[in-house]
Structure 1
Amino acid sequence: LFWPLMVGASVVVAEPGGHRDPWYVASVVERCGVSVCHFVPSMLSVFVEALGESAQQQGSVGLGSLRQVFCSGEALGVGAVEGLRGLVPSVRVVNLYGPTEAAVDVTS
């Protein structure tokens, strides 16, 4: 929570329950110019699947500001990473999954 503030960035917090809606998350990324996100891998999969369908139909999903995505809390599958890179080819994905996510996240 404090990491962005230490370098002069802003923190964007989803409205209650908003983190469960891929379209809401995408709209916040676009509207606020979010450059770094954190996802639980299962939600990243839902996000990528929902937005991937839209990108195929419309060509763009408005995630151009996104530079880096952190994932932790459960195993991260290759499909989610590949799907995200299909939407945002230059995005850097950091997998923080490990023996205890708290220790891995804090160490990272």
Structure 2
Amino acid sequence: MIDKYLKQLCDNVTDAHSRIKQDFKEIDPVVGVSQKMRDSGIAADVMTIDCLRSGKRIIIILHDQQPNIVSYQFTFKAQDPAEQFEQTPLAELSADKLYDWMESYFS
């Protein structure tokens, strides 16, 4: 079952994704959610937002221990992520902010 924090993140990404697809047909991001880190004993969910055209990726991690904080990184699909992630409060990761991230990073 998706907890309320992951649902909030998914709802915001869905809204941003829909608007990006409408406003920027060339971006057409692909969103994925994985809970496979849990299989390795890491209590976190991972969301990826990929731009297939550019090969760029946004990684968002929602840790169980800090559900109000998300870790994120702007990277590339074909590369392993760097060790250092930025952090932001989940409450500040609005649909508008996610839209801005996709527009600026994927354009």
Give TM-score scaled by structure 2 length. Answer: 0.29
Greater strand fraction, Structure 1 or Structure 2: 2
Greater helix fraction, Structure 1 or Structure 2: 1
